[in-house]
Amino acid sequence: MNQKQIAGERAVEFIEDGMVVGLGTGSTVYFSLLALGERVKAGLQIQGIPTSEATTKLAKQLQIPLTDFAAQPVLDITIDGADAVLPDLSLIKGGGGALLREKLVASASKKMIVVADESKQVATFDHAVIPIEVVPFAWETTAERIRQLGGRTHLRCQGEQVFVTDNHNFILDTTFAEVGDVAALQQSLKLLTGVVETGLFPNLADMVIIGTTDGVHILS
């Protein structure tokens, strides 16, 4: 079994009857969704809130019941992936461009469980790609403001086209030679006009389930 699959499946064991569940995005959570679909088929009663259009589509295919923030403003648990994880459980997310809805869902959840393979464990975010969602209007000016904070920005494209998020924004994949305090960098970036959200997730994950060749390794 691959590392993403064992991590993804283990997280679903934490879901209980009656819960409102945040459904993350990505190739690791994919396995969580498959396992959750099986449990729902077997009688588990939950309501899911998806973090992307892709997850919405898959959840519907798997017949996982869905709800929304208007009906359920507080979630019991969220299961989501990550692009990088520090030992203090700070995350980088947004490799698939879903970071804004992912942060809205995670921050409204009582518990966030992250699922990842071993490659996602890192010692530092220095030089790591941090996706930053920006409004398309004047994105070049926003990029310049990020560069003034020390970031190297790269407008995300998909083939010849600029990548557009589910929220109709652009992504600036940005690296910093020295990230320093993750929460402080997040704050500084959020203060820039034009920045919608960043892929830095300090203080949100409660547990990280890492799939390894010898089974799962749980950090909490």
Ligand X SMILES: O=C[C@H](O)[C@H](O)[C@H](O)COP(=O)(O)O
Q: Does 98 help bind ligand X (rule: CB under 6 A)?
A: yes
DSSP 120-177: GB-S--TT--EEEEE-STTHHHHHHHHHHTTEEEEE-EETTEEP--TTS-EEEEEEES
The residue whose two tokens read 């990548």 is 163
Residue 128, amino acid: A
* CA pair distance 181, 41, nearest whole angstrom: 44
- State which of residues 59, 82, 146, 185 lies at the interface with ligand X (CB under 6 A): 82
Of the candidate spans 14-22, 35-43, 76-84, 133-141, the one that interacts with ligand X by CB under 6 A turns out to be 76-84
Annotated binding residue at 141? Answer: no
What's the token pair of residue 4?
A: 């993403």
For residue 115, list its beta bridge partners.
209
Identify which of residues 150 and 202 has a Cβ nearer to ligand X in the complex: 202
Of the candidate spans 25-33, 70-78, 121-129, 190-198, the one that interacts with ligand X by CB under 6 A turns out to be 25-33
- State which of residues 22, 48, 97, 211 lies at the interface with ligand X (CB under 6 A): 97
Q: Does 211 help bind ligand X (rule: CB under 6 A)?
A: no
What's the token pair of residue 193?
A: 């006009």
DSSP summary character for residue 45: -
CB of 201 to ligand X, least distance (A): 9
Q: Does 26 help bind ligand X (rule: CB under 6 A)?
A: yes
What's the token pair of residue 19?
A: 């819960």
Annotated binding residue at 96? Answer: yes
CB of 43 to ligand X, least distance (A): 28
Report H helices in 19-133.
Answer: 29-41, 53-61, 99-107
The residue count for binding ligand X (CB under 6 A) is 17
**Residues contributing to the annotated binding site:** 25-28, 80-83, 93-96, 120
**Residues contributing to the annotated binding site for substrate:** 25-28, 80-83, 93-96, 120
| Binding positions for ligand X, rule: CB under 6 A | 24-28, 80-83, 93-99, 102
